[in-house]
Amino acid sequence: MMAESVEMVENKGKPPVFCEKLCIVCKGAREGNKICKTIQNIELKIFGKNGCIWGAARTKYYGVTPDKKLPGNSRKNKQKQTGKKR
User: Higher confidence at residue 82 or residue 40?
Assistant: 40
User: What is the Cα–Cα distance from 81 to 2, expressed in whole angstroms?
Assistant: 31
Give me the mean pLDDT over the 11-38 stretch.
92
Q: In this structure, are residues 79 and 70 in contact, taking their beta carbons and an 8 Å threshold?
A: no
pLDDT in tens, 34-69: 999 999 999 999 999 999 999 999 999 999 999 999
- Type of residue at 28: G
User: What is the Cα–Cα distance from 72 to 58, expressed in whole angstroms?
Assistant: 16
Give the chain's radius of gyration (CA, Å): 13
Please tell me the predicted confidence (pLDDT) of residue 5.
46
The angle at the Cα of 80, spanning 41 to 35, to the nearest 5 degrees, equals 20
pLDDT band at 13 (very low <50, low <70, confident <90, very high): confident
What is the pTM for the complete model shown? 0.67
